[in-house]
Amino acid sequence: MKIAFPTRDNETISRHFGKMTAMVVIDLQDGNGIDREIRDMTSMPACGGADNGRPTFIVGTLNDCDVVIANGIGMPLAERIGNEGTEVILTRTPTIDGALEAYLDGTILHEPRLAHRVDH
Task: Write out pLDDT tens, residues 46-102.
Answer: 655 445 577 788 888 899 999 999 999 999 899 999 999 999 999 999 999 999 999
What average pLDDT does the structure give for the chain? 88
Residue 42: CB atoms within 10 A of its CB come to: 7
pTM exceeding the 0.85 threshold for the entire prediction? yes
Q: Does domain 2-116 have CATH number 3.20.20.240?
A: no
pLDDT digits (tens, 9 = 90+) for 98-115: 999 999 999 999 999 998
